[in-house]
Amino acid sequence: MSARDNEAIVREAHEAFNARDLDRAVAYAAEDLEWTVVASGETFHGPEGYRRYMQNWIDAFSDAGTEITAVHAGDGFAVVEFTGRGTHDGTLKSPAGDVPATGRVSENAFCEVVQIEDGKISRARTYLDLATMMAQLGLMPAPEGAAG
């Protein structure tokens, strides 16, 4: 697949998330997908794991949305930089324990490194500044030098 095709796949997956059309997003997941959130160490497997990953964000931030700021794509990969925003009005599930709703808004920079094979996402790693997000939610002091 071309760089343009790979860029289109990740953009479409983000558009589907924003539209809450998880079936459309999951259609881009390979059966053996491994999606890892580096900050938490959690890995989601296969299309249903990808659905659970997205649903966890929606359950915790019902108005969650992403705004892509850059896509860098090539043969077999895409790197997506985006801003994730939402109001923490539901339970945020994490391996460290569930975080009850705070009612606060979170806005953070994210980066996804995505491997694409035969038009499907086969591996992905999501990077985010979890310390800044937790500070925005009032769960810990703001990191020194943090903008948000």
Does residue 148 sit within a domain?
no
pTM for the model stands at 0.91
Only one residue has tokens 């953070």, namely: 108
How many domains does one find in the chain?
Answer: 1
What is the residue range of 47's domain?
3-136
Does residue 111 sit within a domain?
yes
Does residue 37 sit within a domain?
yes
Does residue 141 sit within a domain?
no
- Which CATH number belongs to the domain containing residue 111 in this structure? 3.10.450.50
Q: Which H or E element spans position 44?
A: strand 42-45
Does residue 143 sit within a domain?
no
> For 32-87, how does the pLDDT look when each residue is reduced to its tens digit (9 = 90+)?
999 999 999 999 999 999 999 999 999 999 999 999 999 999 999 999 999 999 99
Does residue 66 sit within a domain?
yes
Q: What pLDDT score was predicted for residue 82?
A: 98
Alpha carbon distance 47, 141 (integer Å): 36
